[in-house]
Structure 1
Amino acid sequence: MEKHKHKPLLKIVDSIMTLLSFAGLGLVLWIALEKRNLALFAWNPMFRNFYLGLVILAIVIPVLVFLDLRRHKKREQKTSLGLVSYILVILGLALALGIPAAEGTFSTHADKAPQLMLLGKSDTQGNPELALVWYTKKPEKGKVFYGLSAEHLEYSVEEEKPMQSHGLILSALQRGKTYYYSSSETPEVRSFRYFPQYDGGLRLAISSDAHVGAETNDLGATVDILRQVVDPKNDYSLICNLGDVVELGNKDSQIAAQVELFSHFTDSLPLIQVLGNHDGWFGGYANWAQTYYPKSLQEEAQLYHRFDITDSIHIITLDLEWGTESYDAKQKAWLLKQLDSLDPNDVIIIMDHAYFFGSSTEYQGVPWYDNQQMITTFHQLFVDHGVDLVFSGHDHQFEHILQDGVNYFIVGTFGGKFDDSPTYISPGSIFRDFSHHGYADVLVKEHEVSVTFRQPDGTALYSWGKNL
Structure 2
Amino acid sequence: MLLLFIFQLFFDFVMTAAIATSGDNRVEQVHLSLSGNMNEMIVTWLTQSPLPNVTPFVSYGLSADNLKWTSKATTTKWADEGEKSVHRYTHRATMKNMSPGQRYYYSVGSSQAKSNIFWFTQPDPSQPLRMAIFGDLSLNKGFSIDPLINATHSGDLDIIIHIGDLAYDLQDDNGNVGDDYMNAIEPMAAYIPYMVFPGNHEVSHNFNHMVNRFTMPKNGVYDNNLFWSLDFGMIHFVSLNTEYYAEGMSKETKAQYEWFVDDLKENKAKWLIVLLHRPLYCSTKSAKGCHDPQDIITREGNADFPGLEQVFIDNKVDVVFYGHKHTYERMWPMKHGIPIKSEDSSYIKNPEAPVYILTGAAGCHSHSGPDDSIAQPFSIARLGNYGYTKFHLHNSTHISTHFIDTSDNIGKPLDRFYIEKQ
- Which category describes the TM-score, using the shorter chain as reference length? 0.7 to 0.9
Q: What are the residue-to-residue correspondences of 1:302-451 with 2, within 5 Å? A: 302-310=225-233, 312-321=234-243, 323-325=245-247, 326=249, 328-343=253-268, 346-361=270-285, 371-376=295-300, 377-402=307-332, 403-404=334-335, 405-416=353-364, 417-419=366-368, 421-433=371-383, 435-444=384-393, 445-451=395-401
Partner secondary structure for residue 131 of structure 1: strand
Instruction: Report the Cα distance in structure 1 between the residues aligned to 2:115 and 2:170, rounded to whole angstroms.
Output: 29
Aligned to 2:123: 195
Deviation at 1:463, TM superposition (A): 0.6
Instruction: Give the TM-score, by structure 1 length.
Output: 0.67
Instruction: Report the Cα distance in structure 1 between the residues aligned to 2:115 and 2:27, rounded to whole angstroms.
Output: 16
User: Which residue, 107, 110, 114 being the options, matches 2:30?
Assistant: 114
Deviations 1:191-235 (A, max 9, x none): 11122589x5111111110133xxxx413x13233223313332x
Deviation at 1:362, TM superposition (A): 5.0
Summarize the Cα distance change of 1:322–1:306 in structure 2 as closer, same or farther, 3 Å threshold: closer
Deviation at 1:284, TM superposition (A): 6.6
Contact 2:136 2:361 in 1 (8 A): yes
Partner secondary structure for residue 415 of structure 1: coil
Partner secondary structure for residue 138 of structure 1: coil
Summarize the Cα distance change of 1:342–1:324 in structure 2 as closer, same or farther, 3 Å threshold: farther
Summarize the Cα distance change of 1:329–1:357 in structure 2 as closer, same or farther, 3 Å threshold: same
Aligned to 1:138: 49
Contact 1:357 1:408 in 2 (8 A): yes
Instruction: Report the Cα distance in structure 1 between the residues aligned to 2:147 and 2:413, rounded to whole angstroms.
Output: 13
Aligned to 1:226: 148
User: Which residue, 382, 403, 416 being the options, matches 1:463?
Assistant: 416
Contact 2:29 2:45 in 1 (8 A): yes
Aligned to 2:210: 288
Partner secondary structure for residue 353 of structure 1: coil
**Gaps in structure 1 of 5+ consecutive residues:** 1-107
Instruction: Report the Cα distance in structure 1 between the residues aligned to 2:123 and 2:96, rounded to whole angstroms.
Output: 14
**Gaps in structure 2 of 5+ consecutive residues:** 1-23, 78-88, 301-306, 336-352
Contact 1:452 1:463 in 2 (8 A): yes
Bigger helix share: 1
Partner secondary structure for residue 145 of structure 1: strand
Q: Which letter maps to 2:401?
A: V
Deviation at 1:292, TM superposition (A): 0.8
Q: Which letter maps to 2:92?
A: G
Instruction: Report the Cα distance in structure 2 between the residues aligned to 1:349 and 1:423, rounded to whole angstroms.
Output: 26
Summarize the Cα distance change of 1:229–1:138 in structure 2 as closer, same or farther, 3 Å threshold: same
Deviation at 1:253, TM superposition (A): 1.2
Q: Say yes or no: does 1:242 pair with 2:163.
A: yes
Query: Aligned residues: percent identity?
Result: 21
Contact 1:165 1:294 in 2 (8 A): no
Summarize the Cα distance change of 1:335–1:187 in structure 2 as closer, same or farther, 3 Å threshold: same
Summarize the Cα distance change of 1:256–1:130 in structure 2 as closer, same or farther, 3 Å threshold: same
Q: CA RMSD in A?
A: 3.1
Instruction: Report the Cα distance in structure 1 between the residues aligned to 2:285 and 2:25, rounded to whole angstroms.
Output: 38
Instruction: Report the Cα distance in structure 2 between the residues aligned to 1:193 and 1:320, rounded to whole angstroms.
Output: 32
Summarize the Cα distance change of 1:149–1:183 in structure 2 as closer, same or farther, 3 Å threshold: same
Q: Which letter maps to 1:269?
A: I
Instruction: Report the Cα distance in structure 2 between the residues aligned to 1:270 and 1:259, rounded to whole angstroms.
Output: 13
User: Which residue, 139, 152, 169 being the options, matches 2:66?
Assistant: 152
Summarize the Cα distance change of 1:407–1:296 in structure 2 as closer, same or farther, 3 Å threshold: closer
Summarize the Cα distance change of 1:432–1:323 in structure 2 as closer, same or farther, 3 Å threshold: farther
Deviations 1:274-330 (A, max 9, x none): 21111223x1711221111289999844211111112x3111111113855456221
Q: Which letter maps to 1:206?
A: I
What count of residue pairs does the alignment treat as equivalent? 344
Partner secondary structure for residue 139 of structure 1: coil
Summarize the Cα distance change of 1:146–1:337 in structure 2 as closer, same or farther, 3 Å threshold: same
Aligned to 2:180: 257
Bigger strand share: 2
Aligned to 1:267: 190
Partner secondary structure for residue 135 of structure 1: strand
